[in-house]
Structure 1
């Protein structure tokens, strides 16, 4: 069959690539066309647009780039019709993807949504629209099943695909030697994969590094960025940037400072104690605080429904407070141990690996019910 996938950011590229790999096992003649990134491109098919042209986060940022977003939407619609897929697979990225879902539904194209929009966080009535435009929803967070059920919508819980990515990662025993990190203990910095995150968060992280000279701070480079994009922030400081090896960096780190997003859950599942930070456009964050109805912003805390990792947001995202929290994570044995115990409980809640495989089997079974025996 022909599959058109749309992913709009780095995490979606990762999950899209793993899903494509699993779909090829279920449907050996699968054809792919997609909005995605380098990881999806490595699985074959045709890259129609790279996510680096699409990743805008925040109300002000979206408004500032509205022309580009509109052009991307119109291109996607034309491209989908030209490809004429058996199914459209949308991966998270709701602001864009729900508009595409509505368009595709009107064209009679099957719409499969992988990784639910965070409709439980704000404006929950959006579920009513999702019921109209999405044929099958595949959720990766355990509490989402009951949420959708409360709105009269049946969904499939497939587990979290991050476990697939972590399981597929090859541990490099020579990692520290390879990157000359074998002297001081390491603290990983994960500033995010959007340019505005780099501009807002990375300077605060780098300022924290100056408080801990006995540690080696290392930046996990986003796949959509180049080394040159980090240099203006570093200003000749001894902070290496390592690309395409974030999991090994986290495994080899004593702690991490992580921008809120998928990476907070990855860090927790890899059992690296962390401090979660976030800073964005002040107006965008103020609007978000009025609209969003959740207690936490990090996935680790959301899944546990309690603060197991500290969240330092906006004005709290400053070198002093981050440094104080990092000191606890690094040097307070009881504090650190409690976090690691909570990580173990979190891992049990998330479940087992195999989300990509389960999702692929279900997708093909829904598209070809007479051919697949689950």
Structure 2
């Protein structure tokens, strides 16, 4: 069958790649065309546009890049119409993908949405639109089942694909030697994969490095940026930026400072005590605070429905606060052990790996029924 996938950011690329791998195992004649990234491209098919040209986050940022977004939308719609896939698979990225879903539904295509839009966070009435334009919705967070049910919508709960990615990870036993890392314990810095995230967060992250001379800091670099881009923010701190090795960094880390997003959950799955940080355009944050109806921003805290990891958002995201929290993660054994114990509860709550395979099987079955 012919599959068209749309992923607009690094996490979507990861989940899209694992889904493509699972689809190929179940459908030996699978053909792929997609908006995505390097990981999806490694699975084969045709990469139409890289997510590096698409990932704009925040109300103000979207407005500032509206022309680019509209061009990407037009290109995507035209390409889908020309390809005529048996099934369209949209992966997260709701601002873009819900518009693509509406277009596809109008043109009689089967629309599957993998990783539900976070409509439970704000403007919950968007569920009504999803019911109208999405044929099958696959959710990865346990609490989403009851949320959608409360709106009279049946969904498929498939578990979390990050469990698949972490389960499939094979650590590089030569990692420390390969990058000339010394015997000091590692503090991982994960400043995100978008330009605006890195530019806002990395300066504060880098500012704390000199406060911890007994540790070595390692930055997880996003593959869509060159090393020189990071040099702008880390100066002469002699901190290593390592690309395409985030899981190896986490597997060797003692603590981490992590941009809010998928990486917070990945860090927890590797059982690395962490601080979650986020900064956005001030107007974007002001709008978000007036609209968002949830108490946390990190996936760890959202899934556990309580404060497990410290969140330093906007004006609270400062070098002083980051340093203070890092000291607690490093030196306060009771504090550190409580977080690790909560990680164990988180793992119990999330269940076992298998989301990618389960989703692939459901997509194929739905597509076959649609063609019958």
Tell me the TM-score range normalised by the shorter chain: over 0.9
How many residues matched?
A: 372
CA-CA distance at 1:237 after TM superposition: 1.6
In the alignment, what sits opposite 1:17?
Answer: 17
CA distance in 2, matches of 1:224, 1:140: 26
CA-CA distance at 1:183 after TM superposition: 2.2
Q: Residue 208 of structure 1 contacts residue 322 of structure 1 at CA under 8 Å; is this kept in 2?
A: yes
In the alignment, what sits opposite 2:293?
Answer: 293
Paired residue secondary structure (2:272): coil
Q: Residue 13 of structure 1 contacts residue 37 of structure 1 at CA under 8 Å; is this kept in 2?
A: yes
CA distance in 1, matches of 2:346, 2:100: 34
In the alignment, what sits opposite 1:106?
Answer: 106
CA-CA distance at 1:275 after TM superposition: 0.5
In the alignment, what sits opposite 1:33?
Answer: 33
Deviation string 1:301-339 (CA, Å, 9 cap, x unpaired) is: 000000000000001100000100010001100000000
In the alignment, what sits opposite 1:83?
Answer: 83
In the alignment, what sits opposite 1:127?
Answer: 127
In the alignment, what sits opposite 1:178?
Answer: 178
CA distance in 2, matches of 1:317, 1:370: 49
In the alignment, what sits opposite 1:233?
Answer: 233
Matches within 5 A, 1:183-262: 183-262=183-262
CA-CA distance at 1:236 after TM superposition: 2.1
In the alignment, what sits opposite 2:346?
Answer: 346
CA distance in 1, matches of 2:113, 2:25: 20
CA-CA distance at 1:73 after TM superposition: 0.5
In the alignment, what sits opposite 2:274?
Answer: 274
CA distance in 2, matches of 1:182, 1:350: 35
CA distance in 1, matches of 2:86, 2:39: 23
Using the TM superposition, name which of 231-240 and 275-284 deviates more.
231-240
CA-CA distance at 1:208 after TM superposition: 1.2
Q: Which runs of 4+ in 1 moved over 6 A?
A: none
CA distance in 1, matches of 2:102, 2:8: 17
Paired residue secondary structure (2:288): helix
Q: TM-score, normalised by structure 1?
A: 0.98
Q: Which runs of 5+ in 2 are unaligned?
A: none
CA distance in 1, matches of 2:149, 2:8: 27
Deviation string 1:70-113 (CA, Å, 9 cap, x unpaired) is: 00000111000000001110000000000000000000000000
Q: Which runs of 5+ in 1 are unaligned?
A: none
CA distance in 2, matches of 1:363, 1:79: 21
CA distance in 2, matches of 1:133, 1:371: 18
In the alignment, what sits opposite 2:265?
Answer: 265
CA-CA distance at 1:25 after TM superposition: 1.1
Paired residue secondary structure (2:211): coil
Q: Residue 10 of structure 1 contacts residue 223 of structure 1 at CA under 8 Å; is this kept in 2?
A: no
CA distance in 2, matches of 1:25, 1:223: 27
In the alignment, what sits opposite 1:72?
Answer: 72
In the alignment, what sits opposite 1:162?
Answer: 162
CA RMSD of aligned residues (A): 1.2
Q: Residue 5 of structure 1 contacts residue 33 of structure 1 at CA under 8 Å; is this kept in 2?
A: yes
Q: Residue 112 of structure 1 contacts residue 137 of structure 1 at CA under 8 Å; is this kept in 2?
A: yes
Q: Judging changes above 3 Å, is the alpha-carbon distance between structure 1 residues 370 and 66 closer, same or farther for their aligned structure 2 residues? A: closer
Using the TM superposition, name which of 173-182 and 257-266 deviates more.
173-182
In the alignment, what sits opposite 1:358?
Answer: 358
Q: Residue 9 of structure 1 contacts residue 55 of structure 1 at CA under 8 Å; is this kept in 2?
A: yes
In the alignment, what sits opposite 1:56?
Answer: 56
Using the TM superposition, name which of 344-353 and 231-240 deviates more.
231-240
Say whether 1:117 aligns with 2:114.
no
Deviation string 1:258-291 (CA, Å, 9 cap, x unpaired) is: 0000000000011000000001111101100101
CA-CA distance at 1:370 after TM superposition: 9.9
Deviation string 1:16-62 (CA, Å, 9 cap, x unpaired) is: 00000000111110110000000000101000100000000011100
Q: Judging changes above 3 Å, is the alpha-carbon distance between structure 1 residues 134 and 371 closer, same or farther for their aligned structure 2 residues? A: closer
CA distance in 1, matches of 2:312, 2:275: 8
CA distance in 2, matches of 1:40, 1:92: 15
CA-CA distance at 1:5 after TM superposition: 0.3
Q: Residue 3 of structure 1 contacts residue 89 of structure 1 at CA under 8 Å; is this kept in 2?
A: yes
Paired residue secondary structure (2:117): coil
CA distance in 2, matches of 1:320, 1:345: 30
Using the TM superposition, name which of 360-369 and 1-10 deviates more.
360-369
